[in-house]
């Protein structure tokens, strides 16, 4: 099998999984600027093709948002795929090293907290859901 064809299927599947969960995909720098400049709270999922993204981060993202409190906006960038958009999004994550998969919670375009790869890899989806929902309790309004 052709490697690029194989990877294309994996990437497309990863994209579909997170957008079907309700996250808006930001594929271009302009998309990032527009979304992250909005007022309110925004959860950014930095997606990737690694096992902890598919086995933990994306399932946790899909589950965590079904909660009394949640961010006003749910968006995603794809590390290694939409490079310019991901690089720009990471500029908003001041004080944090690049990490994927990861989650960044912003308010009015300013970073509040991140759930980094080391808090995802080796953890269960339920543990990551709990971390995200703890952030929602601290920083988000009831829906």
Q: With cut-offs at 50, 70 and 90, classify the pLDDT of residue 1.
A: low
CA angle 13, 53, 24 (to 5 degrees): 60
Cis? peptide before 101, omega within 30° of 0? yes
Predicted structure pTM score: 0.94
Q: Which of 17, 29, 33, 52 is catalytic?
A: 52
Please report, for the chain, the start and end positions of each structural domain, with discontinuous segments joined by +: 3-139
- Chain segment 32-57, per-residue pLDDT in tens: 999 999 999 999 999 998 888 999 99
50 given a catalytic annotation: yes
The superfamily CATH assigns to domain 3-139 is: Glutaredoxin (3.40.30.10)
- For residue 100, pLDDT over 80 is answered with yes
Instruction: Work out the percent of the chain whose per-residue pLDDT is above 90.
Output: 87
Q: Specify whether 140 is catalytic.
A: no
């Amino acid at each position: 099998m052709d490697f690029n064809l194989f990877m294309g299927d994996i990437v497309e599947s990863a994209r579909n999984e997170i957008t079907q969960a309700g996250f808006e995909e930001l594929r271009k720098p302009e998309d990032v600027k527009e979304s992250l400049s909005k007022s309110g709270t925004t959860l950014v999922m930095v997606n990737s093709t690694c096992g902890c993204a598919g086995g933990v981060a994306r399932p946790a993202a899909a589950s965590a948002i079904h909660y009394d409190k949640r961010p006003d906006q749910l968006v995603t960038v794809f590390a290694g795929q939409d490079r310019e958009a991901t690089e720009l999004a990471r500029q908003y994550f001041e004080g944090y090293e690049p990490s994927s998969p990861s989650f960044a919670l912003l308010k009015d375009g300013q970073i509040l907290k991140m759930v980094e790869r080391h808090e995802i890899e080796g953890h269960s989806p339920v543990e990551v859901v709990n971390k995200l929902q703890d952030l929602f309790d601290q920083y988000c309004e009831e829906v």
